[in-house]
Structure 1
Amino acid sequence: MKITPAQPSDLPKLLAFREEAAAWLQGLGSDQWSRPYPADRLLATIETGTVFMLRDQETTAATITLTSEAEDGLWTDAELSEPSMFVNKLTVARTHAGQDIGGRLLDWAGDRAHQAGAKWLRLDAWTTNHELQQYYLRHGFAHVRTVTEGGAVNGGPRVSGWLAQRATQPVRHEFADETPAPTPVSLAD
């Protein structure tokens, strides 16, 4: 399998991934990702070069977003003073579930973050998805805290505020990495 940067032509596939994941999560009783993600926002993210596709020959097996930009209101100023990269929208196609592809992508992200000079690989997870939180804990992340206020709409409840991090390090993820070298991480102002 190989990792490549997402292209604008991948937008329909990425939107379909999210719909597939939302339907699967709904079947598990979770409301995670139940609202469609705005296509224009996703396209803008693709164009920044922070969205990556894991391809299994001609099939897209998974996607991950890795950025040095933290979502507003989640991390403290002290935490933001440490070089970090942030994982978002990790999604594995149901056809490739059960192969620990997500865990291997987290390893890839930690390795890439390490190459960029980051100390931490950080993420926020759905506040009510306890199985997902356990998944991240099993993959070496430590829970930092849960932020429940300051959501995107009028400062209301935050739905994705379970925060976790793990130290970055070089890792053999065994993917063919066809991405450009990462941009060095700069600290928040």
Structure 2
Amino acid sequence: MTTTGLSVSDRYADQDRRWFPPLVFLEREEHRELIHRLRNEAEEWVASKGLDQYTAGPNSKSEFAHSDIDRLFDAGQFVGIAPHDQVVAVVAVTEPDADFWTPEEIAEPQGYLSRFLVAEHGKHYGANLLSAVKTAEMRRGSRWLRLDVWRTNTALHAYYMRQGFKHVRTEVVPGRMSGALFQMDLHGGGKVEDYDMPKA
């Protein structure tokens, strides 16, 4: 099962809204502007930590990243969480990256995460969003939750492993600095728990 071009509203259309986790479909232009702003803030934050992700200068991926955000947004693939009606974390649920994953892996039922951004670190916003997407994907029948991560950002690798992901392998593709591949087995967690938004 692939998800190319599938919007999140179509992706989750068959889910019973009584059990649907508190995901917000990000479709308005103000949401687009927010996602671009969060990406800029993420670049500043990782630079302040001395990390080479989103490196500024001639090797910067900023222009590509913002173009990719527009592509994903226009396809309707962004969701977020908005406690107190303010969006605090966003992610695109999209198709696997063919540079990194095999055709067999791409064909498997999965939710693939990209452009995962939070408004503020240390508030558990990212963990809350991951939990909400995990619940939605389990109810949809996906086997995996997958993503790829910047290869040298080991702190981010550790973060995802704390959230329940396992490292699959690291693919080195010329011109790409991502390629550390992670997945969560959605069949290994027992019954689907109803998701309740933790209090801010």
TM-score (normalised: structure 2):
0.75
Q: CA RMSD in A?
A: 2.2
Deviation at 1:148, TM superposition (A): 0.9
Change (3 A) 1:138 1:40: closer
SS class of match (2:101): coil
Once the two structures are superposed, the pairs formed by residues 32-111 of structure 1 within 5 Å of their partners are 32-34=53-55, 35-38=61-64, 39-67=66-94, 69-94=95-120, 97-111=121-135
Distance 1:56 1:173 in 2: 14
> Does the 8 A contact of 1:110 with 1:171 survive in 2?
no
Distance 1:3 1:81 in 2: 25
One-letter amino acid matched to 1:83: P
Deviation at 1:49, TM superposition (A): 2.1
SS class of match (1:32): coil
Q: What is the aligned residue count?
A: 167
Contiguous gaps of at least 5 residues in structure 1: 150-155, 177-189
One-letter amino acid matched to 1:91: L
Identity across matched positions, percent? 28
Change (3 A) 1:117 1:14: same
SS class of match (2:135): helix
> Does the 8 A contact of 2:151 with 2:178 survive in 1?
yes
Distance 2:23 2:90 in 1: 9
Distance 1:124 1:171 in 2: 26
Distance 2:48 2:127 in 1: 22
Which structure's residues are more often strand, by fraction?
A: 1
Instruction: Name the structure 1 match of 2:27.
Output: 7
SS class of match (2:127): helix
TM-score (normalised: structure 1):
0.79
Q: Which runs of 4+ in 1 moved over 3 A?
A: 37-41
Instruction: Judge which range, 8-17 or 74-83, deviates more.
Output: 74-83
Distance 1:23 1:40 in 2: 18
Contiguous gaps of at least 5 residues in structure 2: 1-20, 56-60
